[in-house]
Amino acid sequence: MAADIGFDDKVAVITGAGGGLGRSHALEFARRGARVVVNDLGGSVDGSGGGDGPAQQVVNEIEALGGEAVANADSVATAEGGQGIIKSAIDAFGKVDIVVNNAGILRDKSFAKMDSDLWNPVVDVHLNGAYHVTAAAWPHMKEQNYGRIINTSSNSGILGNFGQANYGAAKMGLVGFTNVLAIEGAKNNIKTNAIAPVALTRMTEELFGAMGEALQPEMVTPIVIFLGHEDCPVNGEVYSAAGGVISRFFVGNTQGFFDANLSPESVRDNWDTIRDESGYEVYPDSSGELGKLLKMLG
């Protein structure tokens, strides 16, 4: 029987870990031997306010389990905050091996009522926040020739959801971010993947009704633990996680239609062929589609 997944001598940074998904991730990494930086701004669901109380509470829980952790209340939304979060890891533990970009806020509104005060903070936390923290960790991971990064996307970005243009744009942006980091980090054994979780947290407690009981954060954490391990076999992939169900999201490309004299009319007349999903292909990077195009054009 294979050994349990463990993280002895590994250091994990989890953002937004003062509650919900992040807390669950932090506790499980600690249970399995990782030393943990618990980052949380301590603000409300919309990102206002702040304080180190939530992060410190999770640190206290980890220490009660016999683990090691430090609290950090820097905001992921600024470059200085991202640097501060990783500095906490370096100062306390000497390195950073794993980054889980989990911090998030909500400012939902239909697009007709969306404004920059709703748009910018959400993008700053989810997308720019992942950039700021990962950018600070990246040089350390390259130097040690090792890293695991897990970005938290959402089906609201991959598939869309009413009233969440800001959130959805940021979450799908994280898929592109994941894809590029996976390519650029591969030579240094830095693997980057993403999850699209569905879980009952303070951000979603009004949405699920009775079904919420089955959607506990602890049912998302196992895929995060697996993707964060040194034996993680995948790079640049996205996994849905909800209530014990793990599945893969991917982008497929149809076989399509070629016409050397392409016109709007030939697009119209071959629309069903263009959209036909049979025989689709999933490419590891953009060169896959370019290879297909060269073959068709040749």
Judgement on whether residues 59 and 129 belong to the same structural domain of the protein: yes
Residues 179-188: pLDDT tens digits?
999 999 999 9
Judgement on whether residues 33 and 97 belong to the same structural domain of the protein: yes
Residue 167 annotated to the active site: yes
pTM of the model: 0.92
Among the listed ranges 45-54, 180-189, 232-241, which one has the minimum average pLDDT value? 45-54
Considering the domain boundaries, does residue 5 fall inside one? Answer: no
Considering the domain boundaries, does residue 254 fall inside one? Answer: no
Average pLDDT over residues 130-145: 98
Please state the domain count of the chain: 2
Measuring CA to CA, how many Å separate 38 from each of 60, 71, 77, 79? 10, 5, 16, 18
Report residue 232's pLDDT band, with 50, 70 and 90 as the boundaries.
very high
> Closest by alpha carbon to 17, among 98, 95, 92?
98
Domain encompassing residue 82: 11-249
Could you say which of 167, 239, 280, 283 is catalytic? 167
% pLDDT > 70, the chain:
92
Average pLDDT over residues 138-142: 98
Considering the domain boundaries, does residue 258 fall inside one? Answer: no
Q: Report the distance separating Cα 102 and Cα 116, nearest Å.
A: 23
Considering the domain boundaries, does residue 72 fall inside one? Answer: yes
The secondary element (H helix, E strand) that includes residue 60 is helix 53-64
